[in-house]
C-alpha cells in the first residue's frame, strides 16, 4: 500500500480505537442499501501529523493539489494562499501569494483555489472576479513580451499589422483565420513584473464580458467555487450565486482568450491569456442536473462536472457534456432514487466535493463534520472522519481535495487545521509510508 511518497519520512499513521471490529474492503464497491451510515462504515485512517498553527495555518477554507504534488490552501484568516510540500513544509518562491491585494491595493480574501496543467493558480474572492498567478513563469522568468505582430489571412493572403493591447490585436490573436508571421518582442519590465505577480484574469464587469453575458447583473454575480479541467482545455468553470431574475443561480464557463506572446528566460515562447465569458452552461432549477445556490464544483477527466449546493431539493449533482458541433449540452449524470448520492437524507450541509482519477466522489459535510465517499455510479462506498462510533475528528470541515494516490486532504476552518485520510484495509492496520 504505497500510497504516499517514499520521501515522506516524518509522516506516520495513528491507529483508530482498537476495540473497533476489523473488516476488509469489499472487492467491488456496492450499494449499501442503507440510508444512514456510522463509524462502522469507515476504513479511512487519519494521517499524522495534523497540519495546523505550527504550519502557520489560521482559517483554511479551500485546498487544491498541483501536478507537482504541492498543496495550495486558501487561508481566509490571512488573505493568503499558503503552499506546502508533501511534508507540510512551505517552499520558497510563493511569497507573492501572501497578503493578496488587487490592482487598487484592496485586500483580497480567497475563498477557492485551483491549479491547471499550465501551472496557472486561479483563485476567487466571492466577487465576480477571477485572479491568476503562474508558477512556471515565476520559476523560469519572462525575458520579453510582444509589442506588435504582422498577421496574414490564410485564405486571401492579406496581411496587416496590429499592436499589443488594442482590440484589433486581441481579435486577430484569437481568430483561427489569421496567422502570425512576424512579431516584435520588447523588454517591458513593468509589464513583465505585473504578469509575474498575481493579477486579474477575469472580471464580469468588463465591458466585453457584460456584452457576452446575457444574464449579467453587477450587484448579484458572486462566484462561490471554481475548477480547472484535468487536460489542456482552455477554459475554467465557476459556480455563480447570481440571483437576478428568477433566482438564476448557475454554472459559467470562462474561456481563455489570448492576450500576449511571452518569451520566457529559458527560450520557450508561450501565450498569456485573459478570461472571457464563454457561456452559462447550466442554470436555476429544482430537478436533477439543475442549479440552486451552488457552493463548490469539480470536474473529472471525462469533463463531467460535479457540484454541491445549499439550496432546496438535491444537494449533489453531476452533469455530463454531450457535444453537438462546437457546443456542449450538459445533462444530469445522477438520477434521484436510483443513485445514493442524490438522496438528500444523507447530507445536512454538503459544502465541497472532489473527484479522484477513478471518478469516485468525496463530499465534505460541514454540519455532520465528516466525509462521504461514493463510486462513479453514485453508490455509497465509505465514510471518513471518525475516531470511534460516537466521536468525530473534525470541528468545522469546509473543503477537501484528493490526490492521485487517494489521500484525502480536508480543511477544518474552526480548528485552523488540515486533516489527511488514507484508505486502509482495516481499522487498526499499521500502514507504513516507507513501504
d(CA 61, CA 59): 6
d(CA 44, CA 159): 62
Is 428 part of any domain?
Answer: no
d(CA 435, CA 427): 19
Is 33 part of any domain?
Answer: yes
The CATH number that applies at residue 183 is: 2.120.10.30
**What's the confidence (pLDDT) of residue 263?**
97
**What's the confidence (pLDDT) of residue 433?**
42
Taking CA 313 as the corner, what is the angle to CA 409 and CA 281, rounded to the nearest 5 degrees?
75
How is residue 302 written as a grid cell? 471525462
Is 4 part of any domain?
Answer: no
Is 432 part of any domain?
Answer: no
Torsion (CA) 83, 130, 196, 261 in degrees, nearest 10: 130
Query: The cell 499558503 sits on which residue?
Result: 82
What's the domain count of the chain? 1
d(CA 112, CA 179): 37
Length of the chain: 435
Structural domain span for residue 292: 12-423
d(CA 92, CA 86): 14
Is 131 part of any domain?
Answer: yes
Instruction: Please list, in sequence order, all residues whose beta carbon lies within 8 angstroms of the beta carbon of residue 382, skipping any fewer than 6 positions away.
Output: 41, 42, 43, 44, 373, 423
Is 220 part of any domain?
Answer: yes
Is 430 part of any domain?
Answer: no
Q: Is the CB of residue 89 less than 8 Å from the CB of residue 82?
A: no
Low-confidence ranges of the chain (pLDDT < 70): 1-40, 218-219, 244-246, 311, 325-326, 389, 425-435
Query: The cell 456584452 sits on which residue?
Result: 211
Is 5 part of any domain?
Answer: no
Residue-wise pLDDT tens digits, 332-364:
999 998 899 999 988 999 999 999 999 999 999
Buried b (16+ CB within 10 A) or exposed e, 328-354: eebebbbeeeebbbbbeebbeebbbbb
What is the β-pairing status of strands 142-153 and 235-240? Answer: unpaired
Q: Is the CB of residue 367 less than 8 Å from the CB of residue 348?
A: yes
Amino acid at each position: 500500500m504505497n500510497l504516499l511518497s517514499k520521501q515522506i519520512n516524518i509522516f506516520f499513521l495513528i491507529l483508530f480505537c482498537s476495540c473497533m471490529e476489523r473488516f476488509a474492503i469489499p472487492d467491488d464497491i456496492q450499494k449499501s442499501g442503507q440510508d444512514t451510515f456510522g463509524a462502522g462504515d469507515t476504513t479511512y485512517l487519519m494521517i499524522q501529523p495534523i497540519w495546523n498553527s505550527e504550519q502557520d495555518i489560521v482559517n483554511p477554507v479551500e485546498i487544491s493539489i498541483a501536478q507537482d504534488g504541492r498543496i495550495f490552501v486558501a487561508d481566509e484568516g490571512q488573505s493568503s494562499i499558503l503552499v506546502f510540500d508533501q511534508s507540510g513544509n512551505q517552499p520558497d518562491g510563493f511569497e507573492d501569494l501572501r497578503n493578496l491585494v488587487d490592482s487598487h491595493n484592496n485586500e483580497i480574501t480567497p475563498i477557492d483555489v485551483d491549479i491547471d496543467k499550465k501551472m496557472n493558480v486561479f483563485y476567487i474572492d466571492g466577487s465576480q472576479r477571477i485572479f491568476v498567478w503562474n508558477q512556471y513563469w515565476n520559476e523560469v522568468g519572462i525575458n520579453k513580451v510582444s509589442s506588435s505582430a504582422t498577421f496574414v489571412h490564410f485564405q486571401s493572403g492579406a496581411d496587416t499589422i496590429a499592436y499589443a493591447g488594442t482590440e484589433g490585436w486581441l481579435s486577430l490573436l484569437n481568430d483561427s483565420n489569421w496567422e502570425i508571421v512576424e512579431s516584435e518582442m520588447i523588454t517591458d519590465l513593468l509589464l513583465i513584473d505585473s504578469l509575474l505577480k498575481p493579477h486579474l484574469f477575469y472580471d464580469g464587469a468588463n465591458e466585453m464580458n457584460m456584452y457576452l453575458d446575457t444574464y449579467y447583473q453587477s450587484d448579484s454575480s458572486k462566484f462561490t467555487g471554481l475548477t480547472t479541467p484535468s487536460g489542456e482545455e482552455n477554459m475554467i468553470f465557476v459556480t455563480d450565486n447570481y440571483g437576478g431574475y428568477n433566482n438564476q443561480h448557475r454554472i459559467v464557463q470562462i474561456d481563455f482568450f489570448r492576450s500576449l506572446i511571452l518569451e520566457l528566460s529559458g527560450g520557450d515562447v508561450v501565450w498569456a491569456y485573459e478570461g472571457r465569458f464563454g457561456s452559462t452552461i447550466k442554470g436555476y432549477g429544482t430537478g436533477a442536473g439543475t442549479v440552486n445556490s451552488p457552493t463548490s464544483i469539480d470536474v473529472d477527466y471525462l469533463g463531467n462536472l460535479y457540484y454541491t449546493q445549499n439550496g432546496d431539493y438535491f444537494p449533489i449533482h453531476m452533469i455530463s457534456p454531450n457535444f453537438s458541433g462546437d457546443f456542449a449540452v450538459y445533462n444530469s449524470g445522477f438520477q434521484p432514487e436510483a443513485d445514493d448520492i442524490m438522496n438528500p437524507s444523507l447530507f445536512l450541509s454538503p459544502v465541497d466535493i472532489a473527484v479522484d482519477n477513478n471518478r469516485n466522489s468525496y463530499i465534505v459535510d460541514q454540519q455532520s463534520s465528516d466525509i462521504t465517499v461514493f463510486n462513479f455510479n453514485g453508490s455509497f462506498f465509505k465514510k471518513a472522519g471518525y475516531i470511534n462510533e460516537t466521536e468525530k475528528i473534525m470541528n468545522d470541515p469546509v473543503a477537501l481535495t484528493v490526490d492521485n494516490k487517494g489521500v484525502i486532504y480536508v480543511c477544518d476552518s474552526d480548528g485552523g487545521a488540515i486533516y489527511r485520510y488514507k484508505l486502509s484495509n482495516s481499522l487498526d492496520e499499521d500502514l507504513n509510508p516507507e513501504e
